[in-house]
Amino acid sequence: MRTMKLGTSNLEVPVVAVGCMRINSLDKAGAERFVQTALEEGANFFDHADIYGGGKCEEIFADAIHMSDSVRENIILQSKCGIRQGQFDFSKEHILESVDKILQRLRTDYLDILLLHRPDALVEPEEVAEAFDKLESSGKVRHFGVSNQNPNQIALLKKFVKQPIVANQLQLSITNANMISNGVNVNMENDSAINRDGSILDYCRLHDITIQPWSPFQFGFFEGVFLDNPKFPELNAAIDEVAKKYDVSNTTIAIAWLLRHPAKMQPVTGTMSIERIKDCIRASDIHLTREEWYAIYRAAGNILP
């Protein structure tokens, strides 16, 4: 698979990340087949979070991949922490404790990337900085990032945190594309012009922070997928037309649409289907034309002023 640099780091990563949030839906044999297929296809970047399956997803993954030193050398592991029952927690104590438990479940000595999961209203960035320093100096985490944060939240962290923020995981799909549409509809009096995220897309590009789109097939907030959904006839017709041209699936085109953006994003998949993960990975070989990209964008109901 095609690769890219993650943020300002020297870490070379596949352009498509394998999300493991639903790996607990597979039996042991199915999980092994899924992970092996991803590796065979060059998708060796695996995204986790300590809340996925209450931690079980990380354990299941470690079993499925038969974690060992030799295996660990050939994969890239990312996990997230900060979500607790009924609250968010970026305290130094919680971050350090969470990472130790993540490493134990994944049966590894280090994470390639740790992301802070959802903004904590009570964050004390000085504590985050202390936690990051300790994790880096101990070798437990090599790179750091955030998830679902806006520019000023990142800037506040960067005032105290010395490590580069290499990634920001954000909800983005063809139908959930406000971070793109508000930049297209600047100075317009329509809903698409509403800036809901502080121009996070431009901020990440300016500061070389890799955007990792999550839920790349979802519409709304986990309301369902737009592919083959009768609620989106025009969008699916546009996607199917482009898919036919390239002789690939509609899944491939939905990911290729994200990869076409010059921000050099790294979509995070959520599927546990072997065929669909293969289709996602095939997107790395597709480069949509400007006309194709905009046709799909408009077909989703996104307007041009």
pLDDT of 223: 86
Model pLDDT for residues 84-100, shown as the tens digit of each residue: 999 999 999 999 999 99
State how far the alpha carbon of 204 is from the alpha carbons of 25, 181, 221, 236, in Å.
33, 16, 23, 30
Model pLDDT for residues 131-147, shown as the tens digit of each residue: 999 999 999 999 999 99
Asked if the model's pLDDT at residue 279 lies above 90, the reply is: yes
Q: With respect to residue 179, please indicate whether it lies within any of the assigned structural domains.
A: yes
Residue 195: pLDDT band by 50, 70, 90 thresholds? very high
Provide the angle, in degrees to the nearest 10, between the axes of the packed helices 92-106 and 125-137.
40
Model pLDDT for residues 44-85, shown as the tens digit of each residue: 999 999 999 999 999 999 999 999 999 999 999 999 999 999
Tokens (6 digits) for 75:
């994969």
- How many other CB atoms are there within 10 angstroms of residue 23's CB atom? 24
Q: With respect to residue 304, please indicate whether it lies within any of the assigned structural domains.
A: no
Q: Domain span at residue 50?
A: 3-299
pLDDT of 221: 82
3-state secondary structure at position 177: coil
- How many other CB atoms are there within 10 angstroms of residue 152's CB atom? 11
CATH number at residue 22: 3.20.20.100
Residue 294: pLDDT band by 50, 70, 90 thresholds? very high
Q: With respect to residue 305, please indicate whether it lies within any of the assigned structural domains.
A: no
Give the DSSP per-residue string, 227-277.
TT-TT-HHHHHHHHHHHHHHT--HHHHHHHHHHTSTT----B-----HHHH
The answer, as to whether pTM is greater than 0.85, is: yes
Tokens (6 digits) for 99:
């990472």
Model pLDDT for residues 12-55, shown as the tens digit of each residue: 999 999 999 999 999 999 999 999 999 999 999 999 999 999 99
Model pLDDT for residues 230-272, shown as the tens digit of each residue: 999 999 999 999 999 999 999 999 999 999 999 999 999 999 9
Mean pLDDT, to the nearest integer, of 170-182?
Answer: 96
pLDDT of 51: 97
Catalytic residue at 203? no
Tokens (6 digits) for 8:
């300002």
Asked if the model's pLDDT at residue 222 lies above 90, the reply is: no
Residue 5: pLDDT band by 50, 70, 90 thresholds? very high
Q: What is the mean pLDDT of the chain?
A: 97
Q: With respect to residue 261, please indicate whether it lies within any of the assigned structural domains.
A: yes
Q: Which of 106, 105, 169, 97 is nearest to 134 (CA)?
A: 97
For the four alpha carbons of 179, 181, 187 and 188, in that order, the dihedral sign comes to: negative
- Percentage of the chain surpassing pLDDT 70? 100
In sequence order, what are the beta bridge partners of 171?
214
**Residue 183 DSSP symbol:** H
Contact 258, 216 (CB under 8 A): yes
Number of domains composing the chain: 1
